[in-house]
Structure 1
Amino acid sequence: MSGLPIEETVTVGVPPDRAFALFTEGFGEWWPEEYTYSGPDGLQTIALGAAPGDFCYELGPEGFHVDWGRMVAIEPGRRIVFLWQIGPDSAPQPDPHQASQVEVAFAPDGEDGTIVRLTHAGFERHGEGAADYRREMASEDGWPLILDAFADFARRA
């Protein structure tokens, strides 16, 4: 079961270029605090890398810094791909060979909408606990919650 990817979609009422910008440039404004290391009171910044090879990171209180992913591909307006370097125990995983991969694609939906399709694959690379980790991220408190937070942000923007 840990070898199956998670696939989730959400539709937002803005064109793909705008949805892409909101997702990437606005990442720190919509990413759920439940999925940060610093929590609501300590989070200063959470961001995706801006170019392939750049780290995805979080900054918190008193100089706290954690790299939790790395950008693999960026095609503005179309898709991003990044390594998910967070282990089943929620600890950062510095070894990219033990990271899963997340792809987020942005496709037109009518004249002014976008279908945002997220695929999280490679859970088996997380080793022990991978199947439970996949189940957790596929549950309503995982990627569905995260994408709903993005959709809410896109509606307000």
Structure 2
Amino acid sequence: MDGTATERADDWWEVEALYDLCFAPGRSALSSYRLREGVEPVAGLCIVWRDADGILGGAIRVWPVRVGGDRALLVGPVAVHPTRQGEGLGAFLIRTVIDRAHAAGEPRLLLVGDAPYYSRFGFERLEGVEMPPPTNPDRVLGLALEEGAWAGIRGEVTRDAD
């Protein structure tokens, strides 16, 4: 799919408007947002997709976090404009992040989402990884980009302000 680019600083507010359109008004009250406060996203893994006219159709962001002291990357939010849904754009953005994170040597990805959807990308439920409440533990999913990258990783997910 043509049209992908790394998110630039001047994309920020347009991406925020897309997130406002796609998610509930209280999205910033979710526990995952506490992990993002005061932390810069991983620049090379935040991606936007625009059509041939330059109209934003989708976006995904990635944030550094710690799980019991070990680095992980928190994927999300991912959003696709309602007029572009059903075209595979969300899956394309997720696969692009997975590929770029792997190429960058990142060992593991984490997200909060629906296991039936994200399992097709290789994400699995993480036992012993605790997102801030009130996150449903069944929705805490991980993907090892290196063999055994999640082995023995347990504990609370916390901000990574480094």
Q: TM-score, normalised by structure 1?
A: 0.35
TM-score using structure 2 length: 0.35
Task: State the structure with bigger RCO (CA 8 A, min sep 6), 1 or 2.
Answer: 1
